[in-house]
Structure 1
Amino acid sequence: MKDELSYSWILLREALAFRSFSKMAMKHSPERWLWLLSGAVWISLLFLNWYIPEGMHMEHPSFVNVFYGSATSTDFLELLLKGTGAWMLMVIAMMFPLLNTQVKHTGFSVQRTQRTRAITTFIIGYMALWFVLGILFSLAIAVLELLLGNVHSLVGQLLPAGVFLLAATLTWHPKRVEWMAACKFTMPLHLSGWKLHKDTLLYGWRKGLVCARICWIPMMGLMLMHHQLLLMFMVTLLLIYERYLIPHESKTVGYTWAGIAVCLIGMLLLSLNGQIEGVPICFPIYGS
């Protein structure tokens, strides 16, 4: 009995020590909360993909259906909001791990009692920018569908590959190094009061603009691919690798974007061998 009590006491001390260490780590590294939130979203997406047949496959709003009377404007708005919701989940899963510098700067630039509020306001500003982009990208896809006419046309099915080729091309842009260096930018913040919230909200919005300048093209490609989970994970690893592990001058990620585009074109060509009309590619662009 004495041995059992001693063993229980040891386990209790270890649990309390781990809890204290975890609390201290989160206190001094607030960015870890974003990594945890990103991980939670990834687990949720895996669950949805595993237990729901459609997984993350989301239909895009269609102007064609509205114009021809097969859908109402309410249906269009509903699809737009659903698609934007999936887009925002993708942003949390993929972009939050890239915010280490800004979250640390926000957390340690304000009073400790204001830290949680400041980081929350920063995230709101950041997500607001991506929300606007999600709406604009969904509308752009609807316009492209209207212009292409046949959503399963060869040109339409080549769009995702074209987007990733564009991402690869921009890796050699003369200002690419400057854009990557801007990912670490910070700005002065007021310590408290409404000016603090104004500063952090603006900081989040500006950081969103900086991220979008680098990442909007692959994110647009993922939207065209209906947030295909495996490709999302690959792109996330590439973005983290590019952000933290290689010099800004490296072209490795550019070659990888090109490789993804080649793979998508290869899958399209393989699908053409089975059926010319309709092009039943593995990862369709538009909802059927």
Structure 2
Amino acid sequence: MKTSKRIRYSISISILAVSAVFWVILLFNPGGIMTVKHCHVTLEGPSKASLQMMLQMNPVSDLMIGWTLMVLAMMLPKLITPVQYIYDRSFKSRRLGSALLFISGYTAVWIVMGFFMNALIVGLNLLLPNSYIPAIAIGVIAVIWQFSPVKQRCLNRGHDHVSLAAFGSEANRDAFMFGMMHGVWCVGAGWALMLFPMLLPSGHNVAMMVVTFIMISEHMEHPKFPKWYFTFRLKLLRVIIAQTKVNMKKALNLN
């Protein structure tokens, strides 16, 4: 069964609206959940006491809430196509539930990754508080990873669409596992890009927006043979430019 254009459009608008809500929360940063608070480091260097103080100032729960909000804000637009795929292949009564299970499985993978990411972020902030060195280092790694065949392989696998059972627990399992599989390949493709904004002492909101634009753009590209590609995947920018030209021509013709 195929969903209508109207339903596909509704899916896109709904997901983008939810993503926008999470972006608003991130930008307002309630309780400073997106900012790692620093503690005093002794002259002898990082110590157990300074680590304990940093964890008191940055509870794991707050770090994980901030990470999850960031994942949902940045990644939800990338899930429009697979959610539409689920709607195409599910009975009407199961569509919403299967879509939510898919998103839950996808988010679960990023949450697990978030524990390791936040541990690294806290450790680096303890060793080099308010320093741009960690962000620069991961930025270099992200650029190298961006052009690597491993990255391209992960992007290719992110386009995989699995068969989904139609009924019962098998349908629930397939939707959840589809989300987890999609999450694994998404982590493989974008782990360095996601980590970079979190290591910046300042300007992480702008960095998150840039990274989101890059990740959505590369997800829109067609699969390619895995090899070193020294090119930027900016299909979203090309689409925006092309659409702008079309709208400008329409406006000129109306005048």
TM normalised by structure 2 equals 0.74
**What is aligned with 1:230?**
206
Helix, strand or coil: the match of 2:37?
A: coil
1:59 aligns with 2:37: yes
Offset at residue 113 of structure 1 (A): 0.6
Kept after mapping to 1: 8 A contact 2:101/2:172: yes
Cα 1:69–1:247 shift into 2, 3 Å:
closer
Kept after mapping to 2: 8 A contact 1:56/1:86: yes
**What is aligned with 2:122?**
142
Offset at residue 27 of structure 1 (A): 6.0
**In the TM superposition, what are the counterparts of 1:208-247 in structure 2 within 5 Å?**
208-225=183-200, 228-244=204-220
RMSD (CA atoms)? 3.4
* Deviation string, structure 1 residues 137-191 (Cα, Å, up to 9, x no partner): 1112334456x3x535xxx531111111111112332344332222211111111
**Which segment drifts farther, 161-170 or 136-145?**
136-145
Q: 2:8 & 2:166 partners in 1: Cα distance?
A: 18
1:110 aligns with 2:53: no
TM normalised by structure 1 equals 0.66
Helix, strand or coil: the match of 1:110?
A: coil
User: Structure 1: which 5+ residue stretches go unaligned?
Assistant: 1-22, 255-288
Kept after mapping to 2: 8 A contact 1:87/1:223: no
**What is aligned with 2:13?**
32
Q: 1:211 & 1:54 partners in 2: Cα distance?
A: 27
**What is aligned with 2:169?**
194
Q: 1:205 & 1:103 partners in 2: Cα distance?
A: 13
Kept after mapping to 2: 8 A contact 1:60/1:142: no
Cα 1:56–1:68 shift into 2, 3 Å:
closer
Q: 2:38 & 2:173 partners in 1: Cα distance?
A: 34
Q: 1:234 & 1:73 partners in 2: Cα distance?
A: 29
* Deviation string, structure 1 residues 193-225 (Cα, Å, up to 9, x no partner): 111111111111111001001111011112212
**What is aligned with 2:105?**
125
User: Structure 2: which 5+ residue stretches go unaligned?
Assistant: 235-255
Q: Percent identity, aligned pairs only?
A: 22
Cα 1:85–1:74 shift into 2, 3 Å:
same
1:151 aligns with 2:129: yes
* Deviation string, structure 1 residues 10-35 (Cα, Å, up to 9, x no partner): xxxxxxxxxxxxx9734665343221
- Kindly indicate whether structure 1 or structure 2 has the higher relative contact order, using CA contacts under 8 Å at least 6 residues apart: 1
Asked which structure has the greater CA Rg, the reply is 1
The residue type equivalent to 1:162 in the other structure is: A
The residue type equivalent to 2:106 in the other structure is: Y
Kept after mapping to 2: 8 A contact 1:87/1:134: yes
The residue type equivalent to 2:208 in the other structure is: M
Cα 1:53–1:84 shift into 2, 3 Å:
closer
Cα 1:80–1:108 shift into 2, 3 Å:
same
Offset at residue 37 of structure 1 (A): 0.8
Offset at residue 91 of structure 1 (A): 0.8
Q: 1:160 & 1:132 partners in 2: Cα distance?
A: 22
Kept after mapping to 2: 8 A contact 1:60/1:141: no
Q: 2:83 & 2:218 partners in 1: Cα distance?
A: 19
1:207 aligns with 2:185: no
Kept after mapping to 2: 8 A contact 1:107/1:115: yes
Q: Between Structure 1 and Structure 2, how many residues are aligned?
A: 223
Q: 2:164 & 2:223 partners in 1: Cα distance?
A: 29
Offset at residue 119 of structure 1 (A): 0.3
Kept after mapping to 1: 8 A contact 2:34/2:63: no
